[in-house]
Structure 1
């Protein structure tokens, strides 16, 4: 990874007040180090970091939290970098976030949840908007030679078209 890309990623991470927002485990303060490990790590390190990140921003594959929308732009940045070893898994995570409607669906049936501490329905919507905001990245990814990456990109694209 070039020093310019590495610096830009780290600079952007510093603009988010991670300790002040919540992920599904509590404070989101660990998210920058996990994103950095995904960006810079070998395949095993990046995969473990992405697994931990997934548990924090899209637990069980469908529960998002306050930090999810803030994390999505960094996931899009990572998926653009050919040296990142887990781009397919990042696309799958973005698809899970785009599909997340657990709070919204439940609140429609049980409006009392809207008075639950934290605005989980809004966080889901913000996370989905964050995924959709950079969907143009998929055009380039769908032209890559990696068949698994193209497949994951096509699946995300289809989810965003719904």
Structure 2
């Protein structure tokens, strides 16, 4: 009998050049540690790591950074793991990222922002795209018995519905 080999959580973290990309603090080099803490941490450690991660990739709940899009696939990976203690909060973070339009809205009034060396608008669009790319996971999460996860999943699904941009 052959056992099915399960890939370790966050196995692809090393494939991202974290020190070379930016989060709200500068280098995004700490993000792998925070994600790993979410994956294996107790509730208090995971909650603390998620607060720090939120400040780094979606500051104030609406300002995304260069590292945001690279982080999103790992958030989706974590939200699928039943042992992760803060999955509903991760879903809320994904919703904040999906809703983020700070830079895009500002660029309408200040088009020069589109030519800034740090391409904030592109970062924001890439982050939203990364959230949308794995929205097929929502159906699985809606079937979870945990009502908090169901509620957070429903809110994220609503944010991902196609709506007129304006």
TM-score, normalised to structure 2, is 0.92
Residue 92 (str. 1) matches residue 63 (str. 2): no
Q: What does residue 45 of structure 1 align with?
A: 45
3-state SS of paired residue (2:59) = coil
Q: What does residue 124 of structure 2 align with?
A: 124
Q: Confirm or deny: 8 A CA contact 2:58 2:96 kept in the other structure.
A: yes
Residue 56 (str. 1) matches residue 52 (str. 2): no
Give unpaired runs (5+ residues) of structure 1.
none
Pairwise CA RMSD of aligned residues? 1.1
3-state SS of paired residue (2:15) = coil
Q: What does residue 151 of structure 1 align with?
A: 151
Distance 2:30 2:74 in 1: 14
Larger Rg: 2
3-state SS of paired residue (1:66) = coil
Distance 2:38 2:30 in 1: 13
Q: Confirm or deny: 8 A CA contact 2:42 2:85 kept in the other structure.
A: yes
Q: What does residue 22 of structure 2 align with?
A: 22
Tell me which stretches of 4 or more aligned residues in structure 1 moved more than 4 Å.
none
Give unpaired runs (5+ residues) of structure 2.
none
